[in-house]
Amino acid sequence: MTVSTILLILLALFVLSWAVGAYRRLKRQRRHCRDTAAPIPALLAQRHALVVPLVELARTRLEIDRQLLEESVAAGNAATAAVRRWKRPPPEADVAVQVGDAESALDVQFTALELAMRQAGLPDTDPEARRLLDALDTAEQDIDIACTVYNHAAAQYNASRSQFPSIIVAIVFAFRPVGLVQGQAAKLAPDTTVSTP
């Protein structure tokens, strides 16, 4: 065996070990994204379940614009439909945008309903209103925490998969970028990722 053959074999072994390491790292990060994204649809569903009780409470106890109530129900239905498109975590970038848009519209309606209830003093006089608004606050805090944890994992994964030479392994083994979903602190505004070939 010549020196050049030995060097070529060593180089091939180095490249192979690097590729295996990059594959394992990307697979581990993608699994972490999946695990951290898994609770988000259930948390969003808990938030959506509060739409009808809040609308019914506002309808029976307040003189409130009927259009606001109808828009709240429509926004809740749209948000529920968007979350159903999130078939398995982590979400693709386009699904994350759809969920973000729907949740943002629902947040506007929840804010208007909550404001009307608080201006009427309903949480102070009605225990059911207080319970529903507390449940809404808790759900939004839980969503915010889950989205923050997921976004951190997704940002690390997307950064790893887009760096050279890991991008070669990502292309060969179809490691696609994942979408980011932002929590209530950012009004669940959609954040898209840049897709690389």
**What is the token pair recorded at 148?**
């923050």
**Domain-by-domain residue ranges, the chain?**
40-189
Contact 114, 139 (CB under 8 A): no
Could you give the CA distance from residue 23 to residue 41 in angstroms, rounded to a whole number? 28
pLDDT bucket at 183, cuts 50 / 70 / 90: low
pLDDT at 182: 66
User: Can you give the pTM of this predicted structure?
Assistant: 0.80
* DSSP structural state of residue 165: T
Contact 91, 179 (CB under 8 A): yes
